Amino acid sequence: MSIADLPKEQDLVEYKVDRILEEANTDTRIVVLARQDSALDTFPIWVGAAEGNAIKLALDTMITPRPMSHDLVKSFAEHLNITIQRVVIADVKSSTYYAMVHVSNKGLERTIDARPSDAISLALRAPCPIYITQDVLKRRSTTNLDAWLAKLDSKNIGTPEVQET
C-alpha cells in the first residue's frame, strides 16, 4: 500500500502545537511546535495572520457560531467517511515547509499536498497526530536561521532609522 517515496514511520517524529506567537509589526504568526515525547525541542513555522488565527481557534478549542474553513474540511471528511490519519511536515525548500495530509477511506489511502498551516489547523480539529520527518528536522536549523535573517534584513537593516532632511 505504501508508496516508495513517502516517509517511513521510523523517520517520523511526533510534535504538538505548543503555542502561537504574534510577530510584532507584521501580519505573520509563528506556530511553535514542540516534541510530543517532551524532549526539549521546538520547531517554529511562520504563517499568515489568518492561518495563525485558524490554528489558535482550534488550539483554544473555541467553538465558533459558524463552521470555519477547516471545520468545513472536517465536516466533508465526516460526511464522506474519510479518516484524517495524520499530517506530516515532509519537505522544506527555500525556507518553505511542505506538508502532506494522510487520509483513508475504506482502506484506500491518499496523501494531499498542503501548506503546514492548513495541515496543522486540520490536525487539531480532526484530531490527528502531527509529524515532522527526520530529514526536515536535520535540514531545518539553517532554514530557520535564513528565515530569521531574511526578516531582520527586510525589517530592521533595510530601513534607515533616521532620515536626514
Partner 1 sequence: MITQMHVKGLMFDPYNNAYIVVLRDEEHADMLPIWVGKSEAGAISMSLENVTPPRPMTHDFMKSFLDAYNAKVISVVITDLSEHTFFAKVHLMYEDSEYTVDARPSDAIALALRSNAPVFANNSVLTKQSSEELEQWLENLKPEDFGKLDS
Per the listing, cell 500500500 goes with 1
Question: Does residue 127 interact with partner 1 by CB under 8 A?
Answer: no
Other beta carbons less than 10 A from residue 5's beta carbon: 6
Out of 59, 68, 83, 151, point to the residue binding partner 1 (CB under 8 A): 68
- Which one, of 141, 105, 132, 112, lies nearest residue 37 by Cα? 132
- Contacts with partner 1 in 89-108 (CB under 8 A)? 96, 98, 101, 103, 105, 108
Question: Does residue 114 interact with partner 1 by CB under 8 A?
Answer: yes
Out of 67, 148, 150, 154, point to the residue binding partner 1 (CB under 8 A): 67
Query: Least distance from C-beta 35 to partner 1, angstroms?
Result: 25
Give whichever of 16 and 115 is closer to partner 1, judged by the CB atom.
115
Look at residue 103 and give its three-state secondary structure: strand
Report which DSSP code applies to 11: G
Look at residue 24 and give its three-state secondary structure: coil
Tell me how far apart the alpha carbons of residues 7 and 90 are, in angstroms, rounded to a whole number. Answer: 7
Looking at this protein, which amino acid is placed at residue 94?
A: S
Per the listing, cell 465526516 goes with 78
Stretch that binds partner 1, among 17-25, 37-45, 75-83, 131-139 (CB under 8 A): 75-83
Query: Least distance from C-beta 102 to partner 1, angstroms?
Result: 10
Question: Does residue 62 interact with partner 1 by CB under 8 A?
Answer: no
All cell numbers assigned to 3 = 508508496
Binding residues vs partner 1 (CB under 8 A): 48, 50-51, 54, 65-70, 72-73, 75-77, 79-80, 82, 96, 98, 101, 103, 105, 108, 110, 112-115, 118
